[in-house]
Structure 1
Amino acid sequence: MHYTNRQWFGLYFGPIIALLFYFIPDFTGLSNEPRAVLSVTLLVATWWITEPIPMAATSLLPLLLLPLSGGTSHEVASTAYFSPIIFMFLGGFTIALAIEKWNLHKRMAMTILLTIGTSTKRILLGILIATAFLSMWISNAATALMMFPVAIALITEVKEQQLFDSNSLHSFSKGLLLTVAYSASIGGLATLIGSVPNAILAGISNTVLHQPISFVSWLVFAFPVTVLLLILLYFLILFQFPVSSDVKIPEKVVRKQLAALGKVTQEEKAILLIFSATVSLWIFGSLLPIQLTDTTIALLGALALFLIPTHSGKGMLMNWSDMKHLPWGILLLFGGGLSLAAAFVETNLTGWIGMHLTQIGNLPYGLLLLAFATSLLFMTEFLSNTAVANMFIPISIGIATGIGVEPYALMAIVALASTCAFMLPVSTPPNAVIFGSNYISIQDMIRTGVRLNVIAILVIVAAVYFWLPFFL
């Protein structure tokens, strides 16, 4: 394997810094158990950031090293890998795979476009809504990959129809593609399964604070945040990439895409029914006389896919061979983060962190949230949002303990801000997908992304300050 300089650095620096903190107690003044947990965390965090080995493989280190180092027991280290939130994500991933397998996502996107209209402004709005809606249920990377060909087809049609002059064509193309990238990230904020940091927050809340965050409580809090960010994104794109006139693309383009999919199949209808039932139970399940957790509902929906035969009678809607496409590595990432978080609490390492960060409690609360959101969002421009969430959600509990505030505000800041990185192609998978189109320059992405970053910071901080206390 050819290592980059960053990977070589992390490969050696991670173990060195971990061993120094482990064998030299004077660095921290901690007793053996919390010092061991801190050392393991430093190694895991360094390797998550620099990736000398795959992130999923790094996420197995807490399971191995926490008991070996004396940081915590095998039971505490391993139980986190079987957290209910991990199985909720497993169920959600399985339903998303079924939607993708049977091309239901493409039909959804084309139907939304046809419903909203085919003028250039309405196309922009339709792409935004379709991408954000899919991203609520499917990973932002998969959503961007699904919507990218749709956007390219629309751009090609505009070019062939010669509807714009050269400048307007460039503006339309750039605006449409950036809308796909940014709305794929923003849409995932709305649900616990739409964004990895959201799921990490829910898992740590359940494991560490013993306060489950339900699907519906997060949806009621985060959906308005998502809608507001999408509205502001729409007007930002219109401002940043103006076109000479709001021309209309013939509906036949969209109808042609729908026609290529053929008639709605029995399999699509069945999957749509399961998907709708799952979402409905997530939202309204608490009204039923029986107790259904979000994890139970997700697994019921996923298992139903393996029980319903296809129309041809050859196999089921989902077969086990389809599960090879499931992102198992993400589930291990959850487990690694939750294992470290559980060890933080078990050894009171969160209290030690909070004690050393009490000085920031002197800042006005609103300013503290603003500084925290800004730091994390721009950090995520260069680091994986999963790594940032895994590292900083447990730390935010320690900070909150040290300054005497409820932890949910800082935890929500981490989850939301770490998903909203819009400046660079390396910041998020959707940014990378769109940048690969050769329609977007790095200057386009930075100029638009900086503005959207500022908007996201202000919206997230305002939502956490004014809106979050009603729900968490």
Structure 2
Amino acid sequence: MPARSRTRLVGGLVAVLAFLLPLVLDVPGLEEPGERMLAIFLMAIVLFVTEAIPLVATAVLIIFLEVLMLTEQALVPLGEPPATSREFWAALADPVIILFLGGFLIADGAAKYALDKNLAALFLTPFRGDARRAMLALILMTAALSMFMSNTATTATMFAVLLPVLAGLPSVAARTGFALAIPIAANVGGMGTPVGSPPNAIALGALAAQGESISFVGWMAATVPLVLFLLLLGWAFLSWRYVPARTPLDLQLEARFSRSPAAVVFYVTAGATVLLWLTEALHGIPSTTVGFLPVVVLLATTVMTGDDLRALQWPVLWLVAGGIALGHGVGASGLDAWLISLVDWSQLPGVVLLLALAGVGVALSAVISNSATANLLVPIALALAGTLGLDLAVVALVVAVSCGLGMFLPVSTPPNAIAYATGTITTPQMAVAGMVVGLTGLFLTALVLPRYWALVGL
């Protein structure tokens, strides 16, 4: 039996055992709803870590089991169910899911009408002749796209643009530097907006359940300074390590924007959506409602069709929904309070706690999906923040950002895997570059950013 199959088989068996133990054994200090939720939570941890079944399958299994075990529809009835089935099913259409739905449709439209490639070509062309400046432009362009598109799609697009760039580089080292620049920029850029990565959406959904909210611009104001610093750090390291000064580069790129009526409608709709996201404080329309605008307009004008809608990244949306439902179940069942009571957290200074949460986020997301990491960590982190009187938004931002910093290995993120598959990067090269950016980001996120947020009143 292949090693991967054995891992999945063992993972599945351990998940079943983890699920059954809290149901069979009496857990001291935990009521029956909490015991049932603990069974689901432990099972989710094992399945997310081992990927015994696909991540999206774990997400929908969480919702299904919560309905069957914690609501009025429970197979073994509870005296007072902690939640209704409607609350768990609602996770599949949570406002954060709608926000991501609009972002995904814009991203797919950008690929359909070649807006992404043309913007990249337009942005890179002025930097022909100097490899270091061209790499900086490539990093900034990749990060900008990744703020509004999936980092996987951004990476695939930018590598398509990069092929002629790589051909014009004079050395293997320089090609390695450029190939590393894309996943680093895509991973870091995804932290910059609420629609940039699933951990951001999971954190926003969990905050909304607690009655807290962060606007689109508020998120950007909180994270973009870190994003820019890490991008410049990554560029400086890659330039020093792989691209000598005055390395020549001959770029042959041409931007050819489509002028068809459908393309023009898409350009206007995408631009209007981003503009409304960025001016939420002025018009007051929530970013989640704005996110549904491109869905309505692009489908109504047939600029995007049912086929385009079917091709969206529904597994990612359902994975986020599973995380939202998991967080709701942990809170409603009392499992969060029980988990927190296991340790005397009050003895830890707030800054140490933030550093610990960020460290766990980075470590877990380096070896499992950052979405899975956020699904597991965000509910516990927010419950802990509520118990200790910490700012919920600060804790949510720290955890979400840290989940995007685990970029050390080819398996850590899809952008890393795509870059590694080009054959121009070795695992040690990726690990070193990822640690330089990721570990720096970890300490800045936990130790510096909260002070910055407090200073500027975010």
Query: Scaled by the length of structure 2, what TM-score is found?
Result: 0.92
Cα distance in 1 for partners of 2:38, 2:317 equals 23
Residue deviations 1:409-460 (CA, integer Å, cap 9, x gap): 3322221111112211000111110111111111211222222222111222
Cα offset, 1:240, TM superposition: 2.0
Alignment-derived partner of residue 77 in structure 2: none
Q: Which amino acid aligns with 2:185?
A: S
Q: Which amino acid aligns with 2:84?
A: S
Q: Which amino acid aligns with 2:308?
A: D
Residue deviations 1:108-158 (CA, integer Å, cap 9, x gap): 100110234441111101110110011011111111111112222211123
Cα distance in 2 for partners of 1:271, 1:287 equals 24
Cα distance in 2 for partners of 1:397, 1:449 equals 27
Alignment-derived partner of residue 90 in structure 1: 101
Alignment-derived partner of residue 437 in structure 2: 452
Work out whether residues 214 and 393 of structure 2, in 8 Å CA contact, stay in contact via their aligned partners in 1.
Answer: no
Residue deviations 1:191-220 (CA, integer Å, cap 9, x gap): 00011100110111112x111222111111
Cα offset, 1:372, TM superposition: 2.4
Cα gap change, 1:56 to 1:179, in 2 (>3 Å) = same
Equivalent of 1:340 in 312, 322, 326: 326
**Match runs of 1:330-409 below 5 Å:** 330-359=316-345, 361-409=346-394
**Match runs of 1:255-274 below 5 Å:** 255=254, 258=255, 261=256, 264-274=259-269
Cα offset, 1:30, TM superposition: 0.6
Q: Is structure 2 residue 288 aligned with structure 1 residue 302?
A: no
Cα gap change, 1:170 to 1:250, in 2 (>3 Å) = closer
Work out whether residues 405 and 439 of structure 2, in 8 Å CA contact, stay in contact via their aligned partners in 1.
Answer: no
Q: Is structure 2 residue 113 aligned with structure 1 residue 120?
A: no
Cα gap change, 1:35 to 1:321, in 2 (>3 Å) = same
Gaps of 5+ in 1: 159-163, 309-315
Which shifted more, 59-68 or 197-206? 59-68
Which shifted more, 433-442 or 3-12? 3-12
Q: Is structure 2 residue 92 aligned with structure 1 residue 81?
A: yes
**Match runs of 1:124-139 below 5 Å:** 124-139=135-150
Cα distance in 1 for partners of 2:261, 2:68 equals 53
Alignment-derived partner of residue 78 in structure 2: none
Cα distance in 1 for partners of 2:88, 2:63 equals 5
Work out whether residues 62 and 77 of structure 1, in 8 Å CA contact, stay in contact via their aligned partners in 2.
Answer: no
Alignment-derived partner of residue 140 in structure 1: 151
Q: Is structure 2 residue 20 aligned with structure 1 residue 34?
A: no
Cα distance in 1 for partners of 2:129, 2:187 equals 24
Work out whether residues 199 and 370 of structure 2, in 8 Å CA contact, stay in contact via their aligned partners in 1.
Answer: yes
Q: Which amino acid aligns with 2:253?
A: V
Which shifted more, 5-14 or 429-438? 5-14
Work out whether residues 351 and 401 of structure 1, in 8 Å CA contact, stay in contact via their aligned partners in 2.
Answer: no
Q: Is structure 2 residue 110 aligned with structure 1 residue 99?
A: yes
Work out whether residues 59 and 318 of structure 2, in 8 Å CA contact, stay in contact via their aligned partners in 1.
Answer: yes
Alignment-derived partner of residue 74 in structure 2: none
Alignment-derived partner of residue 311 in structure 1: none
Alignment-derived partner of residue 293 in structure 1: 286
Work out whether residues 400 and 407 of structure 1, in 8 Å CA contact, stay in contact via their aligned partners in 2.
Answer: yes
Work out whether residues 128 and 250 of structure 2, in 8 Å CA contact, stay in contact via their aligned partners in 1.
Answer: no
Residue deviations 1:344-382 (CA, integer Å, cap 9, x gap): 2222222222222333x4233223322321232022111
Cα distance in 2 for partners of 1:262, 1:108 equals 9
Work out whether residues 168 and 250 of structure 2, in 8 Å CA contact, stay in contact via their aligned partners in 1.
Answer: no
Which secondary structure does the structure 1 equivalent of 2:88 belong to? helix
Which secondary structure does the structure 2 equivalent of 1:342 belong to? helix
Work out whether residues 361 and 374 of structure 2, in 8 Å CA contact, stay in contact via their aligned partners in 1.
Answer: no
Cα offset, 1:471, TM superposition: 5.6
Cα distance in 1 for partners of 2:328, 2:24 equals 23
Cα gap change, 1:180 to 1:337, in 2 (>3 Å) = same
Cα distance in 1 for partners of 2:38, 2:23 equals 8
Which secondary structure does the structure 2 equivalent of 1:389 belong to? helix
Q: Which amino acid aligns with 2:297?
A: A
Cα distance in 2 for partners of 1:368, 1:287 equals 36
Alignment-derived partner of residue 156 in structure 1: 167
Work out whether residues 400 and 406 of structure 1, in 8 Å CA contact, stay in contact via their aligned partners in 2.
Answer: yes
Alignment-derived partner of residue 196 in structure 2: 194
Alignment-derived partner of residue 172 in structure 2: 170
Cα distance in 1 for partners of 2:19, 2:250 equals 61
Q: Which amino acid aligns with 2:220?
A: L
Which shifted more, 2-11 or 261-270? 261-270
Alignment-derived partner of residue 225 in structure 1: 226
Which shifted more, 392-401 or 189-198? 392-401
Equivalent of 1:204 in 203, 206, 213: 206
Work out whether residues 151 and 415 of structure 2, in 8 Å CA contact, stay in contact via their aligned partners in 1.
Answer: yes
Work out whether residues 355 and 402 of structure 1, in 8 Å CA contact, stay in contact via their aligned partners in 2.
Answer: no
Which secondary structure does the structure 2 equivalent of 1:4 belong to? helix
Cα distance in 1 for partners of 2:131, 2:269 equals 34
Cα offset, 1:399, TM superposition: 2.0
Give me the identity figure in percent: 27
Cα offset, 1:178, TM superposition: 0.5
Cα distance in 2 for partners of 1:393, 1:146 equals 31
Which secondary structure does the structure 1 equivalent of 2:422 belong to? coil
Q: Is structure 2 residue 253 aligned with structure 1 residue 254?
A: yes
Alignment-derived partner of residue 161 in structure 1: none
Work out whether residues 135 and 188 of structure 1, in 8 Å CA contact, stay in contact via their aligned partners in 2.
Answer: yes
Work out whether residues 353 and 402 of structure 1, in 8 Å CA contact, stay in contact via their aligned partners in 2.
Answer: no
Query: Scaled by the length of structure 1, what TM-score is found?
Result: 0.89
Gaps of 5+ in 2: 72-82
Q: Which amino acid aligns with 2:9?
A: W
Cα gap change, 1:263 to 1:58, in 2 (>3 Å) = closer
CA-atom RMSD in angstroms = 2.0
